[in-house]
Structures are given as C-alpha cells and as structure tokens.
Structure 1
Amino acid sequence: MEILIVEDEQQQRELVKSIIEQNSDHQCQLAESAEAAIRLLEQRRFDLVLSDWKLNGADGLYLLEQVKINYPHTSFVLMTAYGSISHAVASMRSGADDYLAKPFEKEPLLFALAKLENARLLTEENNQLKQQVVVRESLGNIIGGSAKMQTLYQQIDKVSNTDITVLIHGESGTGKELVAQALHKRSERADKKYLVVNCSAIPETLAETELFGAEKGAYTGASQQKIGKIEAADGGTLFLDEVAELPASIQAKLLRFLQEGTIMRVGSTEEITVDVRVIAASHKSLSDEVDGGRFREDLFYRLNIIPLSVPPLRDRLDDLPELLDHFCLKYAKRHQRKPLVFSKSAMQSLYQHTWPGNIRELGNLIERLSVMNDNQPVTEQDLPFNQTVKSSELLVELPAGGINWDDYEKSILQQALKQSRNNKSKAAKLLGLNYKAFLYRLDKHQISSSD
C-alpha cells in the first residue's frame, strides 16, 4: 500500500516509517501537519493515511473529515498519545477505519495495516466482480466465462464507449456480430441506429449504391433518390460484416469516408457530412488479404485501429456447459420440448469434437436434437459427428454364392430401428436416408416400428 504518515514530531514520523517499511512491502510518505498532508493528497493517490490526533495547526480529526469528503476510497487510522474512550468513539464516528493508542508496539501497528490491506483487497475484488456482472449484463447473448472470453469482455469494456474504429476477427460462427452489437449497446450511441451490411452478400454492381446511396436518375432504373447505409446510420453505428469481400473500387471510397467523414451519393457532386462509428469484421486475415493484393493496405490500417479477436469454440471449451444450458433452454422453450439431457459419453464426444462451425454449429445441433430426440437422453450415437463412417469400414466381402438383397436391406432397416429405439427420424439419419425414402423402404418390406 501507499501510506501517508502524518506526525508533527520528526522522530516519531521516522520511527513509524521505519517499522512499516522494514516489516512490509508498503511505501511511506511523510507529512508534519494536516495542511502538508492535504497538499500531498492533492498530488498523488494514497491507500492509507496514518495520522496523529494532536498536530500543529489543524488536528487529525479535521484531516480525517477532509479525507472522507475528498478521498472516500482512502483508508484512515488515527494515532494518539492521549488515548481515551472519547477519542476512539469520536474517530470511529467520523469514519476512521481503525484507532491506535500511543505508545504502541510494532505488532499492533502491523496487524492493523494487514487488516486494512485485506479489507481493501476484498473491496477491490468485490468491485471488480460487480463490474464484470454489469459488463456481462450489457453483452446481450454473448455466453461464456472462460479466461479468453474474460479478456474479450475487458477489451469490449475499454473501447465500447468511444467512437474509435474496431476490427473484429474470428472464424465463421464465433459470434462476431454479437460482439459488434455489444460495442454499440455499451456506447453513447446505444439509442441511435445500428445497421448491418453483409459485404459478401452485395453484388459488386450494387455495392456503391448500397453503401453510399444514389440520386434519382443516377443510373437506369433509379426512379427516386436512394439513401445509402452509411448515411442512414448517421449518429449511430455501422457494422460491416465480412469487409474483406468489398470490391477494390468500394474500398477506396470507404477509406475516404473513414478519413474525411463525408460521402457522396452516386450521381451527385455534393459532399454529405455523416457521423457514424464503423465496426468491421472478417473471418479472413486482412493482413493476408493485403499481402495477396486483395485488400488495400491503407484501408486495413484505418480499420485495424483496435483489433478484437473472438476465440473459436475449440479454444474455449470451458464455456461448453454454459453454452449447452443456454441453447437447451432456448430451443426447449421455442419448440415446446423438455430441455435436453446428455449422457456422459455424449458429453465426452462434445468435448472431443473440433467444432469447425463454432457456436453456430453448436446452436444448430442443439436445435435439431431438441426437435428430433423425443425427450430422450442424448447419447453418443445421436451426435452427427459420431455417425460418419468411412466407406472402407462398410465394405462387406460378397460371398461366392451371392446374397439376397431384399433380406439384407430388411435386416439393415430393422437394425437401424433397434438402435434408434424405433425413432424413425433417427433411424433414417443412421442410414443416410431422407425421411420419405426411409418410410418407403419400411413399407416395401412391410416393417412396422413395433417389429
């Protein structure tokens, strides 16, 4: 801790400082009066003021009152050689954290400091936890408390309430748009527009008009003025998803907008000033795109002022239970089913899966299982990534005398029904058949699910 010792007797000041610094890691500064202490407090932050009651000039009680008014997070301990019950009561009523009667031994002083340091650390930890709760509540549907996600939350918290341009990188399905939404919701623009442009979905011939707008008659079929997404987002936030897919001609115009804060509609010579915060995202490495000549280097640097990286699911498997709970409850409610329950082997498979589709793949899987699993516990065999069998493993050596194909097909159908507990949808998936084709074969062989 940083400690300010206030004592009008120099020998006593030096003695207290010596005891503290020789027996702890605390750093001490000295002041001979309340007035000198106030000047030091104005210049730097102290964790604790350790002051004598009786001082030349204003006394320690006055200093305590000033500290509590102006520096409420600074702890305060009063010392006095005139120890009395009345002094102790007065100091505690005025907000002192502790009281030491002089002369005091080394141990009571160090014990009091240790107690205050522990209390301060607990307060700081509690404040950090409260702040994390506030941050998490404002992050919408971003789920997870793993170390990598905590780092991301801290970064979001630092940059959200600014107008700085942010570039979000992450694999497909990791939740880049959720991060963009969180940045907007936590900013001063939260009550303004938040518009999304999927750059990969805009035809190159329409990209300029979509972003910058167009005047009436600017091109064939332009029967009226069109406001572009940048202008429409004035005062708010524009999220450019998959920004790496923008055509080169549009990259140059986007760079000019980012630099100047102005746009020009197609077919117009008038510049329009707009106030828009830009958040961009890509599943591609824009630095690699620059190296390959597919993305402007100057635009990359203009977008990459604050880079945020969203980790893939395989790197944050600690979040899997929380994500499963979220999706299971979400889709159980949507489809009026009971929340899914996973067997131990199924959970092991979920942890072992590499999740190339990330959170989107997990969400789609849980929704499919919620609908198709008929309120049965999810087993390892229910998971699609455990049903893929190499064709070489299915090769059956044809007997010299041949086989009866109908009997073979009927047997396979019956085995599929048995493995799926007579769930026809699951049985069809086991055989790689669509549902109608599976029903046709059951009817062909006159197989019922009760057979």
Structure 2
Amino acid sequence: MRLLLVEDDKDQRQLLAELLTDYDLVLAASVAEAQPHLGKVDMVLSDWKLGDGDGLMLLRAAQRLSQGPAFVMMTAYGTISHAVEAMRQGADDYLSKPFSRQELALTLEKVGRAQKLRQDNQRLSQALTDQNKLTEIIGQAPAMQQLQSRLARISDTDATVLIEGESGTGKELAARALHQLSRRAQKPFVAINCGAIPEALAESELFGSDKGAFTGATQAKAGKFEAASSGTLFLDEIGELPLVLQSKLLRVLQEGKVTRLGEHQERSIDVRIIAATNRDLKAEVQAGRFREDLYYRLNVVPLVLPPLRERKDDIPALCRHFLALYARRHGLSQPELSPALVGRLLSHHWPGNVRELANRMERLVLLGEDMPIAAVTPGNGDFTVSLPPGGLDWEAFERHCLDKALALNGGNKRQTARYLNLGYKALLYRLEKHGL
C-alpha cells in the first residue's frame, strides 16, 4: 500500500519514516508538496499543523478526487478539538501525539483494511458499470440479443474479432464495448479507418516510421500498433486496405512484431485486434481483392450487426435513447414522439441505419422538427420522396444529402462517390460547391 506522510518537522518526519518501512512511502513537508501526490497514494498520514496551512486543506483536496485516499490526521497533545473536527470533515481516523509504535501500526492497519474494502467495492461498481455499457447496444430483436450475449462472452479474451455490417450499424460501438468489458479496458483503444488514410501514408500510420524514411518524415513516429500497446487496435473498414499492406498486416498478426518504415529493428507488440468492414470479405477474397489467409486470420470470432430495416421493432427504443442523450448533451427539453412520427420512422428504409436515426433524433432535439428525407429502396432505383407542402430549398437539401452521405461513409470521398453512384470528380465538384 502506498502511503503519503506529511510532516513539516524534519526530525519527526524522519522518525516516522523509519517506523513505516512496510509501506511504499512518499514524503512531503507541506500542503504544496503533498497535493500533487494525493491521487497517486492509497492513504495519507498528515500532521494537523503544517508550514503553509493545515491538514484540513489536504483532507478537502483529497475528498475532491473521484477515488481519494484514506486519511489519518495527527494532532498535538491537548488539541482533541482538532481531531474531532478532522473526523467531522471526513477523516478516517486520528492519532494524538505522542503515540506509540503499536498505536501507529494498529491505526494504519485498520484504516488500510477499510480503504481496501472501499477500493474493492469501487472495482465491483465499475465492473457493473462496464456491464451496463452493453445497454448502449440497444435492441430486443433476436439478432441483437445474440450479439449482446456474444459480446459479453468473448470480451475478456484476446481473440481476434471481425465485425461485419453495413455503414451506420454500430460496428465501432461494438468494438468499444469489447474493449471496455475486457481486462485491457484501462489501456488504449486506438481506432483507424483503413479507407480514410492515403495509400502512401498507410504503412507509416499502421507500423510507424523512422526519421527520414520518406519526404516529410522529420522525426521518428510510432504507428497505431505501438500506440495501442497492451490495449485494443480497431481496424475499421479493413476491406479498404491495399493488398500490399494486407501482406504486411498478416505478418504482424502472425509474429506479434512490427518494423517501422525505414528501420530494420523489430518491436514486439501486445495488442488485441478487432477489425470491421461493410464489405462482403468472402466475395472480396474470391475477386482477388482481399487475401484469403488474412481473412481467416481476422475471422476468428465473427460478429454480424443487422441493418436497422431488419429490426424495426427496436426503432422506438432507439429513438427514446437518442432523444434523451441529445437533450442532456445540448441542455434542451426532450421532445415527445408522436404516433405520426413513429409511423414515418417505421416506414423508412434506413439506408444509413442507426447512425441516420441518431442524426434525425439530434435534429429533432435541436430544431423541433424532423426534416423529410428521401426514402430509398436499393435494387431497382425506385424511391419515394415526401416533399413538404411549403416547397423545398434544393441547394440546402443537396448539401444535406451530401453531408449525410459523407458521414455515413466515414468521410471517405471515394466510398461516398460509390454510395451516391456519382463519378469521383462529380462528387468533388459538389462538395466544393457546398463548401464541404
């Protein structure tokens, strides 16, 4: 257990330090010296009278921390009122000077046991909170219940997971839930969109680069694998990764080592891999656009997120969740869902899935209205548009559709062009026209 001893008398501080050899000890002579250590220790043993203040100042500072240390106050002989005040303010115990070695040991042992119990309770509470994070993946549809069960079962393993599903179904949310419920939860969660980084920079982004490895590399840089050390690396849109990098990624996964661009030194890594894609990777393998060996290396545990149109019974619950979320976020009142609006939402095809629904609920909170959007049914090109009776601002509508399509495709312009069935240059023209 780590203990912070705060005593302004040098001789007293040294004497107490000699009695506390069983603890990982931090010494301080003043309030100013002690304060930076409050969040890094399990217990504080502080004198009441200090050169730049008193022990109560430290006690209050410790209590402002989310997980503050236990606190024992030392008071001078005849100042029992100080001890009473310290206990009233929340100290765990006190010692009245002079005290014996045995009194010191018994008091600290008792307070240490109580602190350990508090920490165990906090860890249990945090574990329950982490379990409740699965409730953010809302849905009672059979596919969603199966997903929640599988997430809970595999989260605390190091198994590689491949999450498949259309854009906007919540693949990153599922990946974050896997991380938050795992033993790696306190370590980094690093996400990278493989389709959003230029091909020329993809290798250095993933694996890192040495100084001078390419034009503009003015210093050595760690890649995403190293940044996610001991944590989780989320490779979103893995199907967009170029073939040449697929082979290098496969080698890293097989050997557990990375080599920075421009270096020969191999660096061992401890990273859990979660990949996601909105493509049919089996079809990509057959078409020669994705390595078969990499596919099987990634697809150890498959998770499939259903599109929203296949679980429309979940739409009312999702709407209530997002309305409450955005009302809190923006400090506004939560709108009511009218039967007419629910009916329109249930009849919509939801090409943008849950992300599209979330955007519409945020707009409802902010503007108090649900802007009509074209309901598109893919396959034959037919679609239905609900036009407002008062007319439509076409430029604003086009800008809105472009902005929505960009968001659905993670800002990837080429993917957005394919999604909108537009030429790439035609999309760039429209984006520039609307300042997007």
Give the TM-score range, shorter chain. Answer: 0.5 to 0.7
For the residue of structure 1 that corresponds to 2:136, the secondary structure is coil
TM-score by length of 2: 0.57
CA gap 1:433/1:245 in 2 versus in 1, 3 angstroms? closer
Q: CA deviation at 1:434?
A: 4.1
Q: Does residue 335 in structure 1 map to residue 330 in structure 2?
A: yes
Alignment of 1:357-436 (within 5 A): 357-373=352-368, 383-385=372-374, 427=390, 430=392, 432=394, 434=396
Q: CA deviation at 1:309?
A: 0.4
Cα deviation, 1:326-377, whole Å, max 9, x if unaligned, reads 1111222333433222332321221121111000110111122222227xxx
CA gap 1:190/1:383 in 2 versus in 1, 3 angstroms? same
Residue 201 of structure 1 is matched in structure 2 by 196
- Amino acid in structure 1 at the alignment position of 2:315: L
Alignment of 1:304-323 (within 5 A): 304-323=299-318
8 Å CA contact retained: 1:174, 1:359:
yes
Residue 134 of structure 2 is matched in structure 1 by 139
Instruction: Quote the RMSD (CA, aligned, Å).
Output: 2.9
Alignment of 1:164-203 (within 5 A): 164-203=159-198
Q: CA deviation at 1:393?
A: 11
CA distance in 1, matches of 2:298, 2:221: 26
CA distance in 1, matches of 2:292, 2:311: 32
Aligned length: 267
Q: Does residue 352 in structure 1 map to residue 347 in structure 2?
A: yes
For the residue of structure 1 that corresponds to 2:327, the secondary structure is helix
Larger Rg, first or second structure (1 or 2):
1
Q: Does residue 297 in structure 1 map to residue 292 in structure 2?
A: yes
Cα deviation, 1:55-114, whole Å, max 9, x if unaligned, reads xxxxxxxxxxxxxxxxxxxxxxxxxxxxxxxxxxxxxxxxxxxxxxxxxxxxxxxxxxxx
TM-score by length of 1: 0.55
Residue 49 of structure 1 is matched in structure 2 by none
CA distance in 2, matches of 1:137, 1:230: 29
8 Å CA contact retained: 1:143, 1:323:
yes
Structure 2: segments with no counterpart, 5+ residues: 1-127, 398-436
Q: CA deviation at 1:135?
A: 7.4
CA gap 1:315/1:247 in 2 versus in 1, 3 angstroms? same
Residue 225 of structure 2 is matched in structure 1 by 230
8 Å CA contact retained: 1:140, 1:182:
no
Q: CA deviation at 1:149?
A: 0.9
CA distance in 1, matches of 2:376, 2:333: 24
Cα deviation, 1:272-331, whole Å, max 9, x if unaligned, reads 110110000000011111011110010000000110001111111221111010111122
CA distance in 1, matches of 2:233, 2:384: 51
8 Å CA contact retained: 2:131, 2:181:
no
CA gap 1:433/1:273 in 2 versus in 1, 3 angstroms? closer
8 Å CA contact retained: 1:346, 1:383:
no
Alignment of 1:64-83 (within 5 A): none
- Amino acid in structure 2 at the alignment position of 1:384: I
Q: CA deviation at 1:387?
A: 12
For the residue of structure 2 that corresponds to 1:200, the secondary structure is coil
Q: CA deviation at 1:217?
A: 1.6
CA gap 1:360/1:392 in 2 versus in 1, 3 angstroms? closer
Q: CA deviation at 1:134?
A: 7.3
- Amino acid in structure 2 at the alignment position of 1:152: L
Residue 154 of structure 2 is matched in structure 1 by 159
Alignment of 1:119-138 (within 5 A): 137-138=132-133
8 Å CA contact retained: 1:193, 1:236:
yes
- Amino acid in structure 2 at the alignment position of 1:325: R
- Amino acid in structure 1 at the alignment position of 2:296: Y
CA gap 1:393/1:323 in 2 versus in 1, 3 angstroms? closer
- Amino acid in structure 2 at the alignment position of 1:329: A
8 Å CA contact retained: 1:199, 1:246:
yes
CA distance in 2, matches of 1:296, 1:351: 39
- Amino acid in structure 1 at the alignment position of 2:317: E
Instruction: Give the share of equivalent positions with the same residue, in percent.
Output: 50
Cα deviation, 1:375-428, whole Å, max 9, x if unaligned, reads xxx6xxx5434799x99999xxxxxxxxxxxxxxxxxxxx97xx6xxxxxxx46
For the residue of structure 2 that corresponds to 1:217, the secondary structure is coil
